[in-house]
Amino acid sequence: MICGSMHFSREMLEAKKILEAKGHEVMVPDDVHDCLENPELNMDMEHCLKWDIDKKCFDKVAESDAIVVLNYPKHGMKGYIGGATLMEIGLARHLDKKIFLLHEPPSEKELRYIHEVKLTNPVILNGDFSRIASR
């Protein structure tokens, strides 16, 4: 399951292609194509509630062997991880899923809850999807 800000919908679809070419089965959020057309849609409460977006993402995390967090720079912060992604990371940890971060996360000074992310002992890919073993 690919997780991250829906601001990175295009990157999610690109990562999906890369990982599928390596033999992985890859899931993305249900509204990735909608958010590609309208990046602010994920902040639309009506949209999120109508389509039960968070629950569907949690279900996909539960079905997955691992999550890959696309933590690109956002809001002037390198390695950005938002609240919804934090919840997905927490669920993955609780369910003993492997957790990959595409980039080094920000420091605790930049984002207070990074401490909790680091406690999950994620594998940092340093931007290199090939560090995820082929199936």
| CATH number, residue 124 | 3.40.50
Q: What is the pLDDT of residue 133?
A: 87
Domain count, the chain: 1
Those residues whose C-beta lies under 8 Å from the C-beta of residue 46, and which sit 6 or more positions away, are none
* Full residue range of the structural domain in which residue 48 is found: 2-131
> Who's near 99: CB < 8 A, 6+ residues apart?
66, 67, 69, 89, 92, 93, 120, 121, 122, 123
- pTM for this one? 0.93
pLDDT digit string, tens, across residues 51-72? 788 899 999 999 999 999 999 9
The confidence score (pLDDT) of residue 108 equals 93
At 72-129, the pLDDT tens digits run 999 999 999 999 999 999 999 999 999 999 999 999 999 999 999 999 999 999 999 9
